[in-house]
A and B are shown apart, each in its own frame.
Chain A
Amino acid sequence: MSYLSKVRAIVWKDVRAELRTKDILSSMLVFAGLTVLIFQFAFDLRASVIQLVLPGVLWIAITFAGVLGLNRSFVLEQDRGSMEGLLMAPMDRSAIYFGKLIGNLLFIFAVELVLLPLMTVLYNMSLLSPSILLVVFLGTIGYAAVGTLFAALSINTRAREVMLPILLFPVMIPVFVAGVQATARLLDGESLAEIARWVQLLLAYDGIFIAAAMILFDYVVEE
């Protein structure tokens, strides 16, 4: 499929450039780590059992670090004017969206791959169960699906990077609520079947917004 090979080419290009500079990955990782550290101090005195707020800390770290990565994905294209090159290419423009989405997902997953074991060790709680990984996986997809669309949108505004979290956070609240709740309940020992409603919500969110973004992306990049 030529469409898929073009999506793959865009992912390859972004990953290749990122592995060379590590600008995005390093800033996301450091930011995620800092978030955990800050929350340690924020909750230390009041929350008698820090583990109770852990799911929230995890998802805040993912969300905040994610915004950095999402922003860079299009800011870099815009600053170098290279977006035109992508728009000129003989392909449906949704290929740009999916290429960027997959690239963003890879970067956020990479951060989560460090964050989850780190928090597991720091707080002596197992965040590495398959069920939690599934919830994190589904939540990240929904977050990045909307985030990639809005990142493309916010580079066309005056405030640029500042605009993305303002646009993104109110719309991604279902992901955040579902992610935190499902993670917390799984940590409490509930089974995947018991949190099925949250998983269904995440699946619905992912499906709806990937479809919506695929249709709307064309309108974002046209001039």
Chain B
Amino acid sequence: MTAHKRSGRETFWMVFTGITGVLILIGVYMSLIWAPTALNLPTVNEQLAQRVFYFHVSAGWVGYVAFGVTAVASVLYLIKRSRRFDNLAVSSAEIGVVFTAANLVSGSIWARPTWNTWWTWDDPRLTLAAIVLMVYIAYLMLRNAIDDPERKARLASIYGIVGFISVPLSFVSVRIWRTIHPAVIGTASASSQGGFDMSGNMVITLLFSIFTFSLLYFVLLHYRLCLEDQRVELEEYKMAVMADS
């Protein structure tokens, strides 16, 4: 098939990708079938929809981790000025945007039978996810609007840092804004607002799901980084050729 001999690194990533795929399938099985039904929820629809929870929380988790990685990589870029850190920042931000969007969509799916609405501004976490998504869409748009690679990396790093600092402040603001917070896991009053008690197998399923999503993050990050390396190299050659002619 491939003409060149695979390096150890490539083999590692192929195996790692395969294992991640299998684990995700197991995770899907656990979330949809193996995990017990949240019996305290009043309707069957709510009980079924609750199963998106594993997916929803994991996607949200990966989103925030990804944006955290972007912020750290941005700081490192400004200090070290190595293109690698900028590649890491943009790759992680893109993955974060995808997962945060997935988090919002799955949140909507869950909200529909539970709160009888696709969207509610009363849930601070949902609101925060929407704000954070906008911050990182702006981050990607900023990158898109700058041609020079050095300038792009530098200015995007600055925005990546400022944007990340704003997240906790936004969280505090929406938290004070809507002090009623539904869906708090495990508290007695929570069940009336769509919350539910977590049994042991539910916790295991959630942790496993977060684990597999984190693996998926690393797999995607790896391939996105390879792509970015090649894209940057191509860009530099293009610039050199254009400058020469």
Residue positions of A touching B, CB distance < 8 A: 146, 149-150, 153-154, 156-159, 163, 166-167, 169-174, 177-178, 181, 197-198, 201, 204-205, 208-209, 212-213, 216, 219-220, 222
CA A220 – CA B146 in complex, angstroms? Answer: 13
Given known contacts A170-B131, A177-B174, A201-B173, is B165 in contact with A208 (CB within 8 Å)? Answer: yes
Report whether A219 and B170 are in contact in the complex, using a CB–CB cutoff of 8 Å. Answer: no
Q: A173-B173, A177-B177, A216-B158 are in contact. List 18 more A-B contacts (CB 8 A).
A: A158-B146, A159-B145, A163-B141, A170-B131, A170-B166, A171-B166, A173-B170, A174-B173, A178-B173, A181-B176, A201-B169, A204-B169, A208-B165, A208-B169, A212-B161, A219-B157, A220-B155, A220-B158
Given known contacts A177-B177, A205-B169, is B154 in contact with A219 (CB within 8 Å)? Answer: yes
CA A200 – CA B179 in complex, angstroms? Answer: 17
| Most chain A beta carbons < 10 A, residue from B146, B151, B162 | B162
A149 — which chain B residues lie within 8 A by C-beta? 158, 162
Which B-chain residue is minimally distant from A149 (CB atoms)? B162
B177 — which chain A residues lie within 8 A by C-beta? 177, 181
CA A8 – CA B157 in complex, angstroms? Answer: 30
Kindly state whether residue B126 has any CB partner on chain A within 8 Å: no
Q: Which 5 A-B pairs have the closest CB atoms?
A: A157-B145, A170-B134, A174-B173, A177-B173, A174-B169
Kindly state whether residue B135 has any CB partner on chain A within 8 Å: yes
Q: Give the shortest distance, in Å, between A106 (CB) and chain B (any CB).
A: 23
Which B-chain residue is minimally distant from A211 (CB atoms)? B165
Report whether B176 and A201 are in contact in the complex, using a CB–CB cutoff of 8 Å. Answer: yes
Residues of B168-200 whose CB lies within 8 A of A: 169-170, 172-174, 176-177
CA A181 – CA B176 in complex, angstroms? Answer: 10
Dominant secondary structure of chain A at its interface with chain B: helix
Interface flags, B109-141, vs A, CB<8A=1, else 0: 000000000000000000000010011001001
Which B-chain residue is minimally distant from A158 (CB atoms)? B145
Q: Give the shortest distance, in Å, between B220 (CB) and chain A (any CB).
A: 24
Which A-chain residue is minimally distant from B133 (CB atoms)? A170
CA A209 – CA B161 in complex, angstroms? Answer: 11
5 contacts between A and B (CB under 8 A): A163-B142, A173-B173, A178-B173, A198-B176, A220-B155
CA A127 – CA B174 in complex, angstroms? Answer: 24
Kindly state whether residue B147 has any CB partner on chain A within 8 Å: yes
Kindly state whether residue B67 has any CB partner on chain A within 8 Å: no
Kindly state whether residue B163 has any CB partner on chain A within 8 Å: yes
A156 — which chain B residues lie within 8 A by C-beta? 146, 151, 155
A146 — which chain B residues lie within 8 A by C-beta? 162
CA A33 – CA B131 in complex, angstroms? Answer: 28
Report whether B78 and A157 are in contact in the complex, using a CB–CB cutoff of 8 Å. Answer: no
Which of B142, B147, B170, B173 interacts with A167 by CB under 8 Å?
B142
A222 — which chain B residues lie within 8 A by C-beta? 154
CA A212 – CA B157 in complex, angstroms? Answer: 13
| Most chain A beta carbons < 10 A, residue from B138, B154, B173 | B173
Report whether B165 and A197 are in contact in the complex, using a CB–CB cutoff of 8 Å. Answer: no
Kindly state whether residue B54 has any CB partner on chain A within 8 Å: no
Kindly state whether residue B64 has any CB partner on chain A within 8 Å: no
Which of A163, A201, A219 interacts with B172 by CB under 8 Å?
A201
Given known contacts A158-B146, A198-B176, A219-B154, is B141 in contact with A173 (CB within 8 Å)? Answer: no
A178 — which chain B residues lie within 8 A by C-beta? 173, 176
CA A220 – CA B173 in complex, angstroms? Answer: 28
Which of B78, B145, B163, B165 interacts with A219 by CB under 8 Å?
B78
Which of A154, A181, A209 interacts with B162 by CB under 8 Å?
A209
CA A208 – CA B165 in complex, angstroms? Answer: 8
CA A212 – CA B176 in complex, angstroms? Answer: 24
B55 — which chain A residues lie within 8 A by C-beta? none
A153 — which chain B residues lie within 8 A by C-beta? 142, 155, 158-159
CA A163 – CA B144 in complex, angstroms? Answer: 11
B174 — which chain A residues lie within 8 A by C-beta? 177
